[in-house]
Structure 1
Amino acid sequence: MFKNILLAADGSVHSKRAASKAIYLAQNVSGSKITLINVLDDLRNRKDILHETMEIEYDTSTSIQKEQTKEIEETIKEAGVSLEVKHVIGEPGPTIVEEANEGEYDIVIIGSRGLNPFQRMVLGSVSHKVSKRVKCPVLIIK
């Protein structure tokens, strides 16, 4: 059923729960593959970042984020599921949508942070953006 799974993950608790569901689905279909996409938000392109210290913080946060997804990668491999990893720099919502729509995925699995209405209005919800724009089914894990 869901043989080619796109897992959007950033190493957060929510994405770890999403990874567990992706593993569960993949283990129930022979020959399944999980593609883990980790989108590193390119803050350097935003006009409000003017200081060199912000550049250092960005480099540190991207290193930490890549390290955090390694735990998810190891969990998937230990489960015996085929895995491809893509680390991409860009805006998370549109980047995940582009990958999902250009790839031949049967489902996208993504965690939800559970933002309140004000946070959703100000920050926007990546999972909401993805679910509205992706052509295949989307499973949002809370």
Structure 2
Amino acid sequence: MKMLLAVDGSEYTRRMLEYIATHRDLFDLSHDYTALNVVAPVPPRVTGFVDRQTLDSYYTEHAEQVLAPVRERAAQNGWKLKAMHAVGPVAELIARTANEGGYDMLVMGSHGHEPMAQLVLGSVTSRVLAHCTKPVLIVR
């Protein structure tokens, strides 16, 4: 199976990776994993003051801080992992990548400490579910 892992460097990403590592009956070594980190774009009012090279470096550095521990975890567990990042609207890019990238499943963490309207699932998770046509496994 081809699995997309939405990662953001949070405690919920760590829990998701732990879940995958401890559930070998669902996530075995034959799967191909892609870790995706989507970086929210810098507001337009800021981009006018920063050159493109600096902005690109910021996005890459931010993504690498998130992806480096995921690569390390994958190496420890023997997972076949490809890592990538994108810049843009987080939920929409995660869903689009899952839908259009030939993935069999999207795996992501959730959170429960948002305002009351987002008590059960985080706002990014809710929007991904609304836009994703592939199966989504949400790990608490």
1:22 and 1:34 in contact (8 A); partners too: no
Q: Which runs of 5+ in 1 are unaligned?
A: none
Q: Which residue of 2 aligns with 1:22?
A: 20
| Aligned with residue 136 of structure 2, among 135, 138, 141 | 138
Letter in 1 for 2:35: L
| Number of residues of Structure 1 aligned to a counterpart in Structure 2 | 135
Structure 2 Cα separation of the partners of residues 93 and 59 of structure 1: 22
> Which ranges in structure 2 are unaligned for 5 or more consecutive residues?
none
User: Cα offset for 1:80?
Assistant: 0.3
Instruction: Provide the residue aligned with 1:36 in structure 2.
Output: 35
**TM-score under structure 2 length normalisation:** 0.78
CA separation in 2, counterparts of 1:58 and 1:12? Answer: 22
Query: Cα–Cα, structure 1 residues 50 and 118, in superposed 2: closer, same or farther, change >3 Å?
Result: farther
Q: Matched residues, percent identical?
A: 26
Q: Quick one: distance in 2 between partners of 1:131 and 1:17?
A: 19
Q: How does 1:1-142 map to 2 (within 5 A)?
A: 3-24=1-22, 28-45=27-44, 47=45, 49=46, 52=49, 63-118=61-116, 120=118, 125-142=123-140
Letter in 2 for 1:95: L
What is the root-mean-square deviation in Å for CA atoms of aligned residues?
Answer: 3.0
AA aligned to 1:103 is G
* Contact kept? 1:5, 1:107, Cα under 8 Å: yes
Q: Distance in 2 between matches of 1:126 and 1:104?
A: 21
Give the TM-score normalised by the residue count of structure 1: 0.77
Q: Which AA in structure 2 matches 1:33?
A: D
